[in-house]
Amino acid sequence: MEFKEGKNRIYAVNENGEELGEVTFVPTGEEMFIIDHTGVNDQARGQGLATKLVAQAVQKARDEQKKIIPLCPFAKAEFERKPEYREVQANR
């Protein structure tokens, strides 16, 4: 599996180039983005892919020194479960 970055999204593809899931975000100013959706195809469910996609978004925020507002219910739950993500979470 490989993670790729597109316009306002990070997505996962398998070895055949088929897209398996994505996390999408909305840029908010120069220093922040909102995660508004995390989705995984039925064939890829149960493999932790959504968790990995959110982790990719967190890494993007760290690399770009940005903050995240996790509005997507899955991403919000990931931020609540993982204290190490709080450093990139925007204060609300």
For residue 41, report the phi and psi dihedrals to the nearest 5 degrees: -60, 150
Q: pLDDT digits over 32-53, tens only?
A: 999 999 999 998 999 999 999 9
Q: Per-residue confidence at 92, pLDDT binned at 50, 70, 90?
A: low
Please, is 12 exposed, middle or buried when counting C-beta atoms within 10 Å of its C-beta (0-12, 13-18, 19+)? Answer: buried
CA-wise closest residue to 9 among 47, 32, 39: 39
CA-wise closest residue to 14 among 1, 5, 27: 1
pTM for the complete prediction? Answer: 0.94
